[in-house]
Amino acid sequence: MSDVTAPVGADRDFARIAAQVEPIARTIMAQYPNGNVRSALIPVLHEFQNVEGWVSPEAMALTAEWIGEPLSVVESTASFYTLFHRRPIGRYMLQPCRNLSCLINGAGDVMRHFRDRLGIGHLQTTEDGLFSYEEAECLAACDRAPCMQVNLQFVYDLTKEKVDEMLAAMRAGTYDVPPLPQSVKPGRDWSVASATDKKSPGAQGVSHPNDPGGLGDASGVRMIERLTKTPYPVEVRPTKERLVADGAARLAAPPSSQSEH
């Protein structure tokens, strides 16, 4: 089994990493001729993650150079897909399912046991960099609930005793699922939070930009006003879309008639 105690980070050499990935990346890109090389973006990022354990800024920049796309395109793709990690993670990514079938079958107790044993919470990594933990949405294995994934490999019929056995084997380096590569020791938090300080123009100047209630709610009304009266940011054109076509008329109607819709 791989040595899960090997030191990481001090000797990281991205040039060596790039040299290892490039032949595979060139083979992938050759499958998309005639200007379609952008289709290689996702598999090339996966190759970098397979070597480094995460998608580093250097990996995204070099991917952009190889496929001939702006860095913003690569970064937006990596940020969209949850299986790309934009920060270093642990050698073992532990993802117990927290959806309905698993909860009915005891996933709540299993997740509490994980948190107690690891000393971390959702979207965190242990101090030694060995474990990252995420309480995942439905993993589509409801017939074997509660379930989880370890480095994307399924584990079924979880119990607290099974959790203890798994963690002991991972620490000993004898677990069946191999550890992930780790070129940089991860920090305590491995997730990249979405920016919340800036909103699109249609959500600026309203009281609840994350939860507009539509007609009858002040935030929703102001958003509709921007659509119907302001040429920027949305140019209103003839359309059958209900919000744009009759939004202004509904706003002008008495509250009693609005409630009928």
Could you tell me the sign of the dihedral formed by the alpha carbons of 81, 188, 103, 142, in that order? Answer: positive
What pLDDT does 197 receive?
53
Q: For position 234, what pLDDT does the model report?
A: 47
Q: What is the pLDDT of residue 260?
A: 52
List the one residue out of 55, 259, 91 whose CA is nearest residue 182: 91
CATH of domain 92-172: 3.40.30.10
CA 151-156-162 angle, 5° bins: 90
**Tokens found for residue 60:** 């995204």
- Which pLDDT tens digits describe the chain residue by residue (261 residues)? 444 444 444 457 899 999 999 999 999 999 998 878 999 999 999 999 999 999 999 999 999 999 999 999 999 999 999 899 999 999 999 999 999 999 999 999 999 999 999 999 999 999 999 999 999 999 999 999 999 999 999 999 999 999 999 999 999 999 999 999 998 989 988 777 654 455 555 555 555 555 444 444 555 566 666 666 665 544 545 444 444 445 555 556 665 555 554
CB 37 within 8 A of CB 68: yes
pLDDT given for residue 12 in this prediction: 75
Q: Give the pLDDT score at 236.
A: 46
The pLDDT score that the predictor gives to residue 198 is 57
Interhelix angle 57-67/14-29, rounded to 10 degrees, is 40
Q: How far apart are CA 244 and CA 241, in angstroms?
A: 6
Cα distance between residue 234 and residue 236, in whole Å: 6
Q: Where are the domains of the chain?
A: 14-80, 92-172, 201-258
pLDDT at position 1: 41
Please give the single-letter amino acid code of residue 10: A
pLDDT of residue 33: 82
